[in-house]
């Protein structure tokens, strides 16, 4: 599907009142989340990095406007995204207020609670106290009455799952979230969470696991449970935080910019695997980033690939992933063979509970 942006947002444009591109629904497919009524764009944008107070606000505005103009209707946040914690929600709230208010009904906005947010025993994890207080604070920061999806961000090994899922049920019943989800729960715990949610009538429709060519834990039982129970997945870090792009392939290893979040993963072995993957991508007529994104979407249980990006150019490159040719069996086997030696699963501890 070809798409020409109506205009390119330059420095001056970000100060003009925003009117969304009329063709915004022509660039991306929208995929059903499990057996729910929720649809997500094949590519969603996460605000974990690049939307904190350390990034100029105009750059953030350019990114969000451009994303929405290209059909990215889903923006993924959490209480602690920044830095500092909370600032991504505050900045996004300002963008909503100044640019996106007329489009609120088109947007799918998510937030989460579970990672460290404030001191004391209720500042993280999955207690009712933490989840309810955190969502209220997130709504205040974003200036919203409700989020579209609210997640339990990680497993709490101590709090009974009935309490955690009961808190998700409470926010739906209070009108503060339309759907709820869980993130990084194991296959076994997901099955229990679904059973509890079903007993309460809670719309638990989505799971957010880490998933990429270099991180396949979700295939070991989780996607099967989701498929069986009618939930969908949204795959976070499909680019392994930038490893699965040409970012680290250009120069020699000594001169290359080190990945800021996964430096220990950038071994010679990893680079060799990335180079081989890059060759496969080139043969397919796409970039490594595009192939990596498309790969996460080959199973329909994955409704969306949840990317990060620091520029409009990255966004455009990544969105074009949906135009790539379908994978054939031989390509998939070659990808498996060259990537099997590298595992980039930074969430392994919380994913295995």
Scan for tokens 């397919």, then name that residue: 284
Region near ligand NAP per CB under 6 A, out of 18-26, 117-125, 238-246, 295-303? 238-246
Shortest CB 242 distance to ligand NAP, Å: 3
Shortest CB 236 distance to ligand NAP, Å: 3
CA-wise closest residue to 351 among 190, 142, 159, 134? 190
Binding mask 10-49 for ligand NAP (x = CB under 6 A): ------------------------------------xxxx
CB contact at 8 A, 63 and 315? yes
Asked if 127 is part of the footprint of ligand NAP (rule: CB under 6 A), the reply reads no
Task: Dig out the tokens for 172 from the structure.
Answer: 């739906």
Region near ligand NAP per CB under 6 A, out of 60-68, 186-194, 237-245, 324-332? 237-245
Cα 119–chain centre separation: 26
CA-wise closest residue to 54 among 77, 9, 88, 79? 88
Distance CA 289, CA 102 (A): 32
Which of 236, 280, 294, 339 lies at the binding interface for ligand NAP (CB under 6 A)?
A: 236
Asked if 227 is part of the footprint of ligand NAP (rule: CB under 6 A), the reply reads no
Distance CA 73, CA 268 (A): 38
β-bridge pairing 232-236 and 204-208: parallel
Shortest CB 24 distance to ligand NAP, Å: 20
Q: What's the burial of 95, exposed, middle or buried (CB within 10 Å: 0-12/13-18/19+)?
A: buried
Task: Dig out the tokens for 103 from the structure.
Answer: 């489009």
Shortest CB 245 distance to ligand NAP, Å: 3
Closer CB to ligand NAP, residue 154 or residue 176?
154
Preceding omega of 4 cis (within 30 degrees of 0) = no
Alpha helices in 108-260 (DSSP H): 128-142, 161-173, 187-200, 222-229
Start-to-end CA span in the chain (Å): 41
Shortest CB 2 distance to ligand NAP, Å: 19
Closer CB to ligand NAP, residue 127 or residue 183?
183
Closer CB to ligand NAP, residue 203 or residue 308?
308
Distance CA 26, CA 316 (A): 14
Closer CB to ligand NAP, residue 60 or residue 183?
183
Shortest CB 17 distance to ligand NAP, Å: 27
Distance CA 328, CA 326 (A): 6
Asked if 239 is part of the footprint of ligand NAP (rule: CB under 6 A), the reply reads yes
Asked if 113 is part of the footprint of ligand NAP (rule: CB under 6 A), the reply reads no
Closer CB to ligand NAP, residue 219 or residue 333?
219
Asked if 216 is part of the footprint of ligand NAP (rule: CB under 6 A), the reply reads no
Closer CB to ligand NAP, residue 199 or residue 236?
236
Shortest CB 99 distance to ligand NAP, Å: 19
φ, ψ for residue 96 (rounded to 5)? -60, -50
Please give the size of the binding site for ligand NAP, defined by CB under 6 A.
Answer: 29
Collapsing DSSP to helix, strand or coil, 70 comes out as coil
Distance CA 26, CA 70 (A): 8
List, in sequence order, every residue forming a beta bridge with 43; answer none if it has no partner.
305
Binding mask 137-176 for ligand NAP (x = CB under 6 A): ----------------x-----------------------
Q: Find the binding residues for ligand NAP in span 275-334 (CB under 6 A).
A: 289, 306-310, 314, 317-318
Residues in touch with ligand NAP (CB under 6 A): 46-50, 76, 153, 183-184, 208, 236-242, 245, 247, 289, 306-310, 314, 317-318, 347
């Amino acid at each position: 599907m070809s798409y020409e942006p109506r205009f390119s947002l330059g420095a001056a444009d970000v100060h003009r009142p925003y009117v969304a591109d009329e063709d915004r629904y022509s660039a991306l497919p929208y995929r059903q989340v499990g057996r729910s009524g929720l649809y997500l764009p094949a590519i969603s944008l996460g605000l974990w990095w690049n939307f904190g107070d350390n990034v100029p606000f105009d750059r953030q505005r350019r990114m969000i406007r451009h994303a929405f103009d290209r059909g990215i209707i889903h923006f993924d946040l959490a209480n602690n995204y920044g830095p500092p914690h909370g600032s991504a929600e505050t900045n996004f709230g300002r963008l909503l207020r100044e640019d996106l208010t007329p489009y609120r009904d088109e947007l799918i906005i998510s937030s989460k609670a579970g990672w460290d947010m404030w001191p004391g025993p209720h500042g993280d994890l999955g207690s009712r106290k933490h989840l309810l207080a955190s969502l209220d604070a997130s709504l205040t920061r974003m200036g919203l009455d409700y989020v579209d999806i609210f997640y339990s961000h990680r497993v709490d090994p101590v709090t009974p799952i009935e309490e955690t899922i009961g808190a998700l049920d409470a926010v739906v019943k209070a009108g503060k979230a339309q759907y709820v989800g869980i993130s990084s729960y194991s296959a076994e715990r997901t099955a229990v969470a679904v059973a509890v949610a079903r007993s309460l009538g809670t719309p638990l429709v989505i799971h957010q696991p880490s998933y990429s060519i270099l991180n396949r834990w979700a295939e070991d039982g989780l996607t099967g449970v989701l498929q069986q129970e009618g939930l969908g997945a949204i795959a976070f870090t499909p680019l392994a935080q930038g490893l699965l792009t040409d970012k680290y392939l250009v120069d020699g290893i000594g001169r290359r910019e080190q990945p800021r979040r996964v430096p220990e993963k950038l071994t010679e072995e990893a680079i060799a695997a990335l180079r081989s993957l890059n060759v496969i991508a080139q043969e397919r007529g796409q970039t490594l980033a595009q192939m990596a994104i498309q790969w996460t979407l080959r199973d329909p249980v994955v409704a969306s690939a949840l990317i990060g990006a620091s520029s409009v150019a990255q966004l455009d490159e990544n969105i074009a992933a949906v135009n790539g040719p379908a994978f054939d069996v031989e390509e998939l086997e070659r990808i498996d063979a060259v990537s099997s030696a590298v595992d980039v699963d930074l969430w392994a501890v919380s994913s295995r509970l």
